[in-house]
A = this chain, B = another copy of it.
Amino acid sequence: MKSDSTVHGHNSWVRKLRVQMPSPSLKDNTADIDRLVRYLKKELRAENISIPYSLIKDIPQLLRDFAYHCWVSAYEDYGTWRVIHLSPPEDKGHFYGLALDLGSSTLVMRAIELNTGHIAKEISFHNPQIKIGTDILSRIHYASKPEGLADLQQMLITHLNERISGVASELALAPHEILALTVAGNTTMTHFFLGLDPYWICREPYIPVVNRPEIISAQELGININPRAPVFALPNVGSYFGGDLIAGILASGMNHMDEICLLVDVGTNAEVVLGNKDWLMGCAGAAGPALEGGVASMGMMAGPGVIDKVTIDPQTLEIQYHTIEDLPPVGICGSGLIDLVAQLFLAGMIDLRGKFVASRCGERLIQIEGINHFVVVHANESATGKPLTLSQPDIDSLIRSKAAMYTILTTITKTVDIDIHDIGKFFIAGTFGSYIDPRSAITLGMIPDLPLETYVPLGNTSLQGATLALLSQEARQECFEIRDKITYLELNVNQEFMNLFSAAKFIPHTDKTLFPSVRPYPR
């Protein structure tokens, strides 16, 4: 259809239209703004068109400069289409939006060509708020100091602007050509981003300022894209269930599926959503920081030279490992750690409580300051010139984390009276989750013993959800539908929970019948 070819971003709530209006005449002498509104109402089949005051002043001259032939960008909100920008007829009609995964440690940003959906650029960078504190509680504390909140917001926006400016210059875009921004973050990060006080988030009864933030203009937030560009922060369910998880559900598509699905986002918290097209239940619980690196003495974030895969031959006890970019090893990341501990167990080098078996570990078991350490990489092989070791406390910490995860999964399925083996799809969200070998995670008893094809790693679902919400009007609407549909399960760490937790603190579990596929040494 010819007329359609001039509307870009068909399914998006942000669109760009080629507009060719009749010039004013004595017979058709309606005002410039009303002429444009009349045209857009027809073209967008919209009841209401709104043109912001900041643009109205310039429109008469622009329309005359463009001979009433131009491109108009607009977005939909509350049933009203709001004009963002007018550009000249010689413009190619391309337009861009940004999707942002607002992580507490890492931000990932995509620049997307909205007329095609093409991802033009993706960058990731540390959250500049890390300098206030790596954990979010210390930032909440900082926010309560005078100017603290404004400071936290400003460091985020300033840094984001630098990165946006870099991306724009790489793509040869003027900032005003970036016409929308969607943001998925946890509730606290979203509050920091919007400059809203998170004070009540972490205090009973845990009240966010807002669950469904309205669209705010880039100008109001100080973001250097088109000043009238809409900024859409995905809604949250509550203090502990944020827009990042709404994004995750959106990205998984579980809310459209018949079979029962489980979505797990493994980060500082294990965040879990269970459900299908008819219902959704979510919960979030502290799974311990062991899985994120930083606590295990040699643990670290994934990066060059980091061990991400380990195998141990149970006969020869020979250790093989893979490092990222095949560089000499510098440490181990979460997925490598899960592999390592699973392999140690299968080789009989640790027992079902995770304790080192001296007879199997041999000379690789050493003592540092009175604590057992297992030498994974000898000093002569490591990039640091020092041995890379795994300590008993590292394993203990991992076991607590995996036990917490399994207990949460058990609790949520029990709550809705579903057998954990009835789960049809087990989505693993998060960049970290993508690297986990499900076989190793099952061996440890971190995740249930389901057929391997049940496990679907999704990567960065926060970013994917933000992307969907940017590109599709339906997806943006779905964020609210998902939000309203979710029942949030408050995890009560009561006696029953503690009993389940204790039972899960073995490898793979005290109840071995739950993990028939795991065959520990000796077989």
Residues of chain A having any CB pair with chain B under 8 Å: 24-26, 29-34, 37, 48, 50-51, 53-54, 56-57, 59-61, 78-80, 194-197, 199-200, 204-214, 216, 220, 236, 238-239, 490
Contact = CB atoms under 8 A, between A and B. Distances in A.
A482 to B, nearest CB: 15
B209 A59 contact: yes
A207 B80 contact: no
A510 B239 CA distance: 85
B214 A30 contact: no
Contact of A205 (B24, B211, B238): B24
B26 A205 contact: yes
A271 B209 CA distance: 53
B214 A53 contact: yes
B60 A214 contact: no
Given A53-B214, A195-B57, A33 B209 contact: yes
Contacts of A208: 31-32
19 contacts: A26-B204, A26-B206, A30-B207, A31-B209, A31-B210, A31-B236, A32-B207, A33-B211, A34-B210, A50-B214, A53-B216, A56-B214, A57-B196, A57-B197, A60-B196, A60-B209, A61-B197, A78-B80, A80-B80
Contacts of A206: 26, 29
Nearest to A80: B78
Given A34-B210, A79-B79, A238 B60 contact: no
Contact of A210 (B32, B61, B195, B212): B32
A56 B193 CA distance: 14
A125 B29 CA distance: 34
A120 B11 CA distance: 52
